[in-house]
Structure 1
Amino acid sequence: MPIRLTPDATFADRLRGADRTLYGIWSCAGSALVAEICAGSGLDILLIDGEHSPVGLESILAQLQAAAAYPVVPVVRAPIGDPVLLKQLLDLGAQNVLVPMVSSVEDAEATVRAVRYPPLGVRGVGSALARSSRWSRIPDYLARAHELVSLTVQIETVEGLAAAAGIAAVEGVDALLVGPADLAASLGLLGQQDHPDVVAAVESVIRAGRAAGTPVGVNAFDPAMAARYAEAGAAYVLVGSDVTLLARASEGLATRFIGDGSAGPAPASY
């Protein structure tokens, strides 16, 4: 007799049940082993990056499998909000997806439809073939799928900033993530994530999300900025990545044992 499985709590569930700010790390190396190390760190969120990292579907699957043994909640960032790509990520078992560059209410509504089966959306049906339903071992998966998937959309353009309140209010958008790096670039402040105008913009999205009852998170690799955004009401903060930790730690070894280089300090934030 086949095993009947209960799906894990979604990212939305974890945010609703949290009594503090949640903290997470990006998995960008494309290594299931590194993802597993990060998953066991004690952080709350493992964000597997499919946008700026050299990963494909097989790598994302392996990272999800590696993280499954740990209490961390895995979130997978798609490279784009394309319905076909989102279908593939959902089918391989990504319960929690993040879509970048959502800049309007229409973008958000289309993304919600992409992660839901008809009649609620346009997600293609192949659950019997897919890890998402554990090959039909999750009872009533098709009928319940919209409850078992969590959608986060990323605000990182001037247009998205202007539409943040409307995006936060879209039914089916479970959380927002502000990307200060792209937002700074869109504001004409490339590389200046700590510029007062960028910080004010991030905090305005946090306020818009809170007004709509939608959790808002932010990238903040600088501990001081992470603390500031948590104090401002961010529901979660992404405070580092596997590759930047390795880069800075290896540079620290070189500085300690060889001496200071001439390149200058590396940026503290993503």
Structure 2
Amino acid sequence: YVLFEILMLAAAAAFVRLWPATGWRTTLAATCWSLPVFDAFAIAQDVAALLAVIAGTLILLNRRRDFAAGLLFSLCAIKFHLFLLMPVWILARRMGRFACGLVVGGAALGVLSLAAAGPGGFRAFVHTAFSSAVNPGLAVMPNLNGLFHGNGRLELAAAMAVAALVFLVARRSSQSWALAATLSGGLLTSHHAYVADCALLLPALLVMVSETDRAWQRYLALLLLTPVVFIGVYAGPAVLVTRLSLVVLCMSFAAVPRRPLTDPPLSASFPSADRASRQ
């Protein structure tokens, strides 16, 4: 347990240092006051590792090393249910080389898993994945499954709407904004998610803070970076506020920044901190 927590702390530090959309001081502040990040450490979840992978992926994409980015991103298979909208992002952005890297990395991980668990490992995984025992606490899930109280038809219809929204956003936005919308939509459509998994919204919120040219989006992102909204998960009926806030966040990505898409990400909200972090 101690070794795992040390590794996750190192992964969180890597995310803080590597995240390209904002300076490291801004990223550090947002990470430290994030309730989902705290919850992930409290219950020994591996979300910090995913944050580091996402940061590395965006860096590689910015350097136009799409195949390597896809190869790295394949590590997110450890929680693939949180990234169900990644194919939508790939199709919308026409990221063929990224997809190739993702497939190669996924195949390698599949071979390693097969070697470790044997032929029966896949059957055991499928059985476990569809077992009701792995989906306790529906009442506190901050996603569409929780919002619609397990109504599969409503969840599917809403998930399709979210996927369509992400596709449209990805087609007409910057790479980082498209990724942010995909992460936000992925959490909503995950079917299985808890507060710790909301740490994956940290990159999305930082992108919104740094790239938006609309004050209301910046205020929304700053609000969701604080613990206030996520406390609702622990406050009974107030969990509805958390779920609706995450729906609003996803929808807000439709308001794409109005400057040209070729512009590099800006750190408009924390200019002094970001300048200091580059010195």
More strand by share: 1
Greater share of residues in helix: 2
Q: Higher RCO, 1 or 2 (CA under 8 Å, sep at least 6)?
A: 2
Please say whether Structure 1 and Structure 2 have the same fold, judged by a TM-score greater than 0.5.
no
